[in-house]
Amino acid sequence: MDDRRAERLLRPGRDLPSVGRRTPLGGGLVRHASALTALLSPTVNCYRRLHQTLVPDRADCRLDDRRAMVRVVTSGPRSTYVENRLPSAAANPYLVLAAMVAAGIDGLVNRLELPPEDRDGDKLPSSLSEALTALEADTVLCDALGQQLVRWFLLVKRQLEIDTVSRAKAEGREEMQAERELYFQFL
């Protein structure tokens, strides 16, 4: 792409141009966002971060918007990049990469387009439990990652993390303290 054409397409402060809307890789990330959330934000505590100011709460892609799940940042034709703002520091980078590649490949195979910027995307899960249910229902990611890995992941998250924190709350203990006890043993 020559510099003049790139300048017209990626001028700062404008909406993502129609050519950018036809990005199937991004379309795959947005389509599988709810299921991806389980792997990219894999702890009970991660959901305190989501749905806050300047943090993703919808499955969408926007130009220069810190609230977007997939953010396209540009300050000119030679300085454009795309970032997925969903992953947490607690996520396993290998699972993040594998899941994002699987979602992106589905977008490429099925030629998925990004939703229009003026339409709000689907709301992201607000708890680890919701995200795990979405992952379990996403046949594309389950098949790509392998049923055995997904079953193991769901089992560990539900029985070790969610049940442990729920049990602590039922006993009248503080949720944050239960999480510290659970996660600090692995550091």
Amino acid, res. 31: R
Return the structure tokens found at 176.
């944050």
> What's the distance, Cα to Cα, between the start and end of the chain in Å?
47
For the chain, domains (ranges, CATH) are 3-184 (3.30.590.10)
Inter-residue contact 150 to 136 (CB < 8 Å): yes
Walk along the chain (187 residues) and give the pLDDT tens digit of each residue. 445 544 444 444 445 544 445 567 788 999 999 999 999 999 998 998 888 888 888 888 888 888 888 888 877 767 777 888 899 999 999 999 999 999 999 998 998 887 777 667 789 999 999 999 999 999 999 999 999 999 999 999 999 899 988 998 899 998 888 888 888 876 6
Cα gap 117→127, rounded to integer Å: 25
Residue 15 has phi, psi (to 5 degrees) of -70, 160
Which of helix, strand or coil describes residue 181?
helix
Residues 6+ apart with CB under 8 A from 80: 10, 72, 73, 74
Residue 19 has phi, psi (to 5 degrees) of -65, -35
Residue with tokens 């396209």: 72
